[in-house]
Chains A and B, each alone.
Chain A
Amino acid sequence: MFRSSATRWILGTAIFVTGITLLRYRPWHPPTREAVATEGVVRDSLTVGFLPVTCHLTCPVTDFATRHSANTRFDSQRFTDFPTIVESMKGGRLEASFMIAPLAMKLREQGMPVKILYLGHRDGSTVMVRKDLPARDLRDLRGKTLAVPSKYSNQYLVIHKLMDDQGVKPDEIRFVELPPPDMPGALAAKAIDAYFVGEPFAAKAELDGSGRVLYYAKDIWPHFISCVLVAHEKLIRERPSVVRDLVRGIAESGEWAETHRLGAAKVAAPYFRQDEALVRFVLTQPPDRVSYRMLTPTDEDLGQIRDMGIKAGILERRIDIRDLVDRSFIPTDIKAANIDAQ
């Protein structure tokens, strides 16, 4: 009896494992992620990492735009946090991604050969405060708790610049690190008094009615840079034409998003898996909350971020910005991508 029961269980397990493996890999489906063949022409393809934040919007838009184009196919891979992106790049399995600028600098400082090719967007971050707080500027937040996404975020650096400007000492505001998706909820529950984050996590509190805008990033630092497009030097060396297509694709998607805000929200929302209304709100209320123009990184901008990073203690040495940036792939004529968002 035991033997037959054992046989039954082993057989059952084998059938289950086979079945679930078949369902997982669907060998009857052709592979879609490798080089895609269109009309007999095998196209190059590249996976680019992004997070579901407005700052990385051009990444899924480029994915959408290159689905049926003749050039390189860009497959946008959504991640849930920056550490995973970094570890994937270190492991050599991801060669290009969007990430926050100080993080790219930190990687370079640690000897990882990455280059900044382009910017994600300008502005697009917001300081939110609880609706019931009468705060009018940062001085009113003395003794309060302010959440930032991470010490490596530009938001953390920029808020220190503003504190300097307003004469607020570093220990007068209590900083906590929170994952951006948890910030609107924490503000609503009054666990924090304010937060500074990239969109759409700020707009969420505004839409829900639990927070109000204290500063737009552009009020603190016009043309604020949050995220950058980063590629591994190996990719740049071995597949320069793909990199050229990528930067052009991102640039043209940005130009398109700048002028087709509603369409951009419609295209990006499914990639972000976010409510389209929320993305639309960020892109339109007000329209200059986010900008997808002037995305060429300048030495001056990046140098400023680096120096603030050193001052805040997150970077250790003055890396040479010229080693970090490669502007040679940026096209001189940026036309809006030809995208049909319907």
Chain B
Amino acid sequence: MSQRRLNVRSILLPVAVFAAALALWDGVSRAGFFDKSALPAPAAVILAFGQEIRSGRMFNDLVTSLFRVTVGFLIAVLLGIPLGLWMGQKLAARTAFLPLLNFLRNLSPLAWMPFAILWFGVGDASAIFLICLSAFFPVVLATMAAVANIPAVYFRVAETYGLRGFEKLVQVTIPAIMPQLITMLRVSAGLCWLVVVAAEMIAGRDGLGFAVMDSRNGLRMDLLVAEMVVIGVIGVVLDRVLERLSRIPSVRWGYER
């Protein structure tokens, strides 16, 4: 019974907050503090949303952005985790590469934008490049730190059992860093979604980020807000999905205190 009440509350409370935010928005826009081109009314946004859905543009933009973020993120993960594992295990590699990685990590993807266009043109490749860049360095660094912090006793036990090389990696190292790895995946996936607007500014003709810039150029604040709503909702969904990773039984130990 109390579990069910908890479930109901976990739905009702956020819905109530959203409804209140919506009402506040509507109130402010009706009160006329801002010009309607400076703050579109919720009703106008819903109309714009409908218009975008019917024309099929919203779906196309959404698919495009999801595609770019997924591919960019996966490339970052597939390249970054092995590199992080290697650097975590080898002190010399850490000493050699860490300063360079830290240097590159601090460069905003926005700064890379001109090069992205020069090297990859406008379209999927350049957006994927920027999204990948934004996730790659955090993935490498987090994996490396997680590996470097595995208690030495784990490896001694592994050696006692005669585990070496690949076996040691699969049976000791990866399970030991799994909780941090999952947290890192969540954070960096969120980061990828966050930079999608910036990365797609140069996307050419589609994508939610392009649509945001385009609505701005077209002086259509109603469309812009509709796209912002979609970006926010997808961000939440993305995080909910990745949050499930932390419920995998064999990694839950990392989250329970």
Interface residues of A (CB under 8 A from B): 1-2, 5-6, 9, 13, 16-17, 20-21, 23-24, 51-52, 77-81, 83-84, 87-88, 90-91, 93-94, 179-182, 184-185, 188-189, 200-201, 204, 208, 210, 272-275, 278
Contact = CB atoms under 8 A, between A and B. Distances in A.
B64 interface: yes
B49 interface: no
Interface of A is mostly: helix
Nearest to A23: B63
24 contacts: A1-B250, A2-B175, A5-B248, A5-B249, A16-B70, A17-B74, A21-B67, A24-B67, A52-B214, A81-B201, A84-B201, A88-B121, A91-B121, A93-B121, A179-B216, A180-B217, A181-B217, A185-B38, A188-B35, A201-B219, A273-B214, A273-B215, A273-B220, A275-B219
B44 to A, nearest CB: 12
Nearest to A203: B219
A81 B71 CA distance: 26
Contacts of A21: 67, 71
A24 B37 contact: no
A17 B218 contact: no
Contact of B218 (A23, A79, A185, A273): A273
Interface stretch (B11-19, B97-105, B140-148, B202-210): B202-210
B117 A274 contact: no
B127 to A, nearest CB: 12
Given A20-B67, A278-B219, 12 more contacts: A1-B250, A2-B175, A2-B248, A6-B248, A23-B67, A24-B124, A79-B122, A80-B217, A184-B37, A185-B38, A189-B38, A208-B37
A20 B249 CA distance: 29
Contacts of B220: 273-275
B121 A51 contact: no
A25 to B, nearest CB: 9
Nearest to B67: A24
B205 A91 contact: no
Interface in B186-241: 201-202, 204-205, 210, 213-220, 223
Nearest to B63: A23
Contacts of A180: 217
Contacts of B245: 9
A179 to B, nearest CB: 8
Nearest to B213: A80
Contact of A272 (B119, B120, B218): B218
A210 B35 CA distance: 9
B66 interface: yes
B43 interface: no
B114 interface: yes
A210 B37 CA distance: 11
Contacts of B92: none
Interface in B153-187: 175
B81 interface: no
A1 B178 CA distance: 14
B71 A78 contact: no
B43 to A, nearest CB: 17
Interface string B29-44: 0000001011000000
A93 to B, nearest CB: 4
Which 6 residue pairs are nearest across A and B when measured between Cβ atoms? A2-B250, A87-B117, A93-B121, A273-B218, A24-B67, A5-B248
Contacts of A16: 70
A90 B37 CA distance: 36
Contacts of A13: 74
B118 interface: yes
Contact of B219 (A20, A80, A189, A204): A204
B251 interface: yes
Contacts of A274: 218-220
A1 B37 contact: no
A21 B69 CA distance: 11
A208 B217 contact: no
B177 to A, nearest CB: 14
A88 B205 contact: no
A79 B121 CA distance: 13
Contacts of A80: 201-202, 210, 213-214, 216-217
Nearest to A87: B117
Contacts of B223: 273
A182 B219 CA distance: 9
Given A5-B250, A189-B38, A273-B214, A91 B119 contact: yes
